[in-house]
Each structure stands twice: as C-alpha cells, then as structure tokens.
Amino acid sequence: MQAKQYVEKVYEDLLKRNEGQVEFHQAAKEVFNSLISVFEKHPEYVENGILERIVEPERQLMFRVPWTDDKGNVQVNRGFRVQFNSAIGPYKGGLRFHPSVNLSIIKFLGFEQIFKNSLTGLPIGGGKGGSDFDPKGKSDREIMRFCQSFMTELSKYIGQDMDVPAGDIGVGGREIGYMYGQYKRLKTSYEGVLTGKGLTYGGSLVRTEATGYGLVYFVDEMLKGKGKNFEGKTVVVSGAGNVAIYAIEKVHQLGGKVITCSDSNGYIYDENGINLDTLKKIKEVERKRLTEYVKYHPQAKYTEGKGVWSIPCDIALPCATQNEINEEDAKTLVKNGVIAVGEGANMPSTLEAIDVFLNNKVLFGPAKAANAGGVAVSALEMSQNSMRYSWTFEEVDAKLKNIMKNIYENSVKAAKKYGFEDNYVVGANIAGFIKVAEAMMAQGIV
C-alpha cells in the first residue's frame, strides 16, 4: 500500500471511530497531510502501526462534577481528561473550563499537545482536560467548590510522574490554587502535580508570560529568517486573555505596535497602540469586558460582534480560540498586506485559511510550534519542583527564548529535509512526530 493510501485509510477509520468529533478530525487531518512523505521514507512506522496508535488516546476519562452554588442549589458539570501519549514523558497539557468543552475539543487539544510537547525538546507526553463549567459570573467560593469537586475525581489519575495538568482557557492562578490545595489535602503529598502555580507554593517565574512571549519569539525567528523584524511593524492581536496580553507586551518591547485586542463580545481598535496598563487593569484586576477600555482612551473605537481580521496590518497574532480565522479572513489579511501570522491560540486558523496563507507566501507559524512557550515553561516549572529550586526571571526567559529558537530551527530543517522548504506547518508536524514515533518504536507495541 502506498503511503498516501495508508494515511487516507487510517484517517477514514478515525472518522468512523470518532463520529461527530469535528475538531479532533480537523486536528488529525492537518497532521496527517504532513506525514505522507515521512511514511514513504520510514516504512517501519507503517509496519509497527505508529499512526494507528498515536491517534488513539491511551486513556479517556469523563466524569461527573457535582457542586453547590451560593444559593445552595446542586449543579452538575462534566469533567474530562484525555491522556493521549506518554512515549516521551508523563502526560502534560492544560485544563480548560468553558461551556464549549466536550470530548472532541479535549481530544483535538490533546492530540496537538503530543507534537507541541515533543517540539519543546523536553520529556513530556501529550494530554488535555477540562470541564463545561463556566467560571464567568461565579463567585470565588463557587469556583472553589467546583475546583475541589473536580480535583476529587481527577486526583485518582494524575501525579508528578504520571500526568501534570496546567491551566488553559478559564483556568488561571486562582483555579490552579484551589485544585492544588484539594490535591494536597487528598494525597497528603506536596509535589509538582500542577503547573501554573503561584510563586509562593512552587510556581515558576515567566509562566504567566510564557505563551505570549514564546509566540513573539517564534514569529521573530521567522522574520529574522527573511531579514526582517518587529521594529516599526503594525500588529493585529485577537483575544484579551493571558496569551494576548503578554504577546502585546513582548511586541511592544521589540518595537512593534499592536493596534487591536478582542474578547467574546467585540474588539478594540486603538491607532495609537493598545495601552497595556489599561488592558491589564481591565482584564487581570477588574475582570471586566473590553468596553471599559474606551472610558480610559476615548480615541479608541470599540466594535461589537466582529473579529479583528479586517484591520490592515503587517503581522497577525490570533490569540483567542480555535477556528477564529476562516478562508475569507485569511484572504482579507493577504489583500491588506500581512507578511506573517503566528498562532497564539490552539488551531485558530481553519485548514482553508492555512492554505491561503501558504499559497501566498505568508510566513505562517502553526500553533503547535508558535504557542509551545506555555508548556515549555510548565516543563521548566516541573524541573524546578523536582530540584526544590527556583530560577530567576532572566534565567527562565532565556531558556524559553532558546527553546522557541530551537523549535523554529528544527521545523525549518524538517521541512527542508522532506521537500517542503519554508512550510513551518509541515516542518513542525514532522519534527514533533518523528521524536514520538522513535520512542514508540523503541518501547514496543504497547
């Protein structure tokens, strides 16, 4: 059987076995499309069923999470943890608390995490989890009760040498703290079982900034590869959460100007450049909507219900959620002169949008490479926990920058080796896959 037919057959089987899981299908298809040339050169991967095994999670957990609200009413949510692949290390991946969470989304995120974690060069496998619980509008006590109930069940399946979750959408320092407290209470063990912890109890410096900083470091490497940089560039960012805020901060430090940010209701356009102090105050301190921004900066414009991709820019950084850039958005960005796109969110561009960027020679940093900074610093937090030691901000930031540079260089090398020069999507997929495949080969059919 030819490599292309083999890949198509495995994908068809995946569709049948995971019916209706459209996000997972999309993530798998994007990776599969990149691997045909790998199987042509490595028939041993086919003989050992690497692809069939890598798309099937080692363990899928779904559980009930009962909790009581402030009025004493019983609420019930669903909890998830998909432990996808542990060939190169303990499962590692965030927990997402959002009403949209379902098994398909957790599986797409966990599958991406396998390759993202591999690319970091650190010994961590792929996993993901979360719940359809919505922290918005909940009191601190309600969030605490939910997190304690969630961790009571999850604690049976995680540990510092087995599975080390982190935060994701809806899970920040507050939620990590409540979950860590409950884990410690249940296990009577003070260990590095969660990352993204507070600095007073085992957290790492730069963890808050890591995904946003790492994204910009990766895009900067892409630009440098073509003799360019961020200096004087106009940048459009979506999102207003952790990733977006610190991507904006690093762009400003490198001499670029970010003119947009957004939340689920709409977006801010500030031609003078987004004021980071105001954004942090609104989102990190007051936890309010972006409409507040214009109260502090009347010259800025707030637009409700639309995305930011119609705004002309040199560089686009999608940092909000999956599939936020569709084919038409991509065409608009290209028409308006975009030279580089870096994915700060997980799978923010549709497959059709990615094709538009690649066909028009736009520098495109795929999520599994460009947003790997968060999990990279999570793994560095694990290392510090194991050593009972803390590195300085400068030390961690330097390690992060070096990891992102290595991810870029390894993606470039893999793309060139397999005949896809300048295609960082294919390069990242292949570089991430081969490391895991070799580990799976060495460990036998398990």
CATH number, residue 86: 3.40.50.10860
pTM (two decimals): 0.94
Structural domain includes residue 247: yes
Mean pLDDT of 423-433: 97
At 411, the amino acid letter reads: S
Residue 27: domain span: 3-54
CA-closest candidate to residue 374, choices 96, 23, 29:
96
Last residue of a domain, one of 336, 370, 404: 370
Is there a single domain that holds both residue 138 and residue 270?
Answer: no
92 is in an annotated binding site: yes
Do 75 and 35 share a structural domain?
Answer: no
| Beta bridge partners of residue 80, listed in sequence order | 62, 130
What percent of the chain clears pLDDT 70, i.e. is strictly above it?
100
Position 314 scores a pLDDT of: 98
pLDDT surpassing 80 at residue 21: yes
What pLDDT, in 10s, does the model give residues 332-359?
999 999 999 999 999 999 999 999 999 9
Work out the burial of residue 22: count CB atoms within 10 Å of its CB; fewer than 13 is exposed, 13-18 middle, 19 or more buried.
middle
> Is 60 assigned to a binding site?
no
61-72 mean pLDDT: 98
> Would you say residue 384 lies in a domain?
no
**What's the average model confidence in pLDDT over 127-135?**
98
- Tell me if residue 361 is catalytic: no
350 known ligand binder: no
pLDDT value at position 104? 96
Residue 103: φ, ψ to 5°:
-65, -40
211 is an annotated ligand-binding site residue: yes
> Does 79 belong to an annotated binding site?
no
Query: How much of the chain exceeds pLDDT 90, in percent?
Result: 96
Q: Are residues 273 and 254 in the same domain?
A: yes
| 250 and 315 together in one domain | yes
DSSP 3-state assignment of 97?
Answer: strand
Closest to 333 measured CA to CA, from 306, 300, 368, 362: 362
Instruction: Kindly state the average pLDDT of the residues 425-438.
Output: 97
As for how many domains the chain has, the answer is: 3
Segment 52-56 shows an average pLDDT of: 98
Q: With bands split at pLDDT 50, 70 and 90, how would you rate the model's confidence at 162?
A: very high
What is the residue-averaged pLDDT of the chain?
Answer: 96
Q: Among 39, 54, 69, which residue terminates a domain?
A: 54
Categorize the per-residue pLDDT at 1 as very low, low, confident or very high, splitting at 50, 70 and 90.
confident
CATH number for 365:
3.40.50.720
Tell me, what DSSP letter sits at residue 291?
G
Cβ–Cβ under 8 Å, residues 267 and 304: no
271-309 tens-digit pLDDT: 999 999 999 999 989 989 999 999 999 999 999 988 899
- Rg of the chain, C-alpha, whole Å: 21
What pLDDT is attached to residue 305?
82
The confidence band for 133, taking pLDDT boundaries of 50, 70 and 90, is very high
Closest CA relative to residue 238, chosen from 77, 390, 349: 349
Residue 383 pLDDT > 90, yes or no?
yes
**Which residue of the set 107, 128, 257, 435 is catalytic?**
128
Average pLDDT over residues 375-390: 96
- Tell which of 342, 370, 398 closes a domain: 370
Statement to judge: residues 214 and 71 lie in one domain: no
Average pLDDT of the segment spanning 138-166: 98
Do 25 and 89 have their domain in common? no
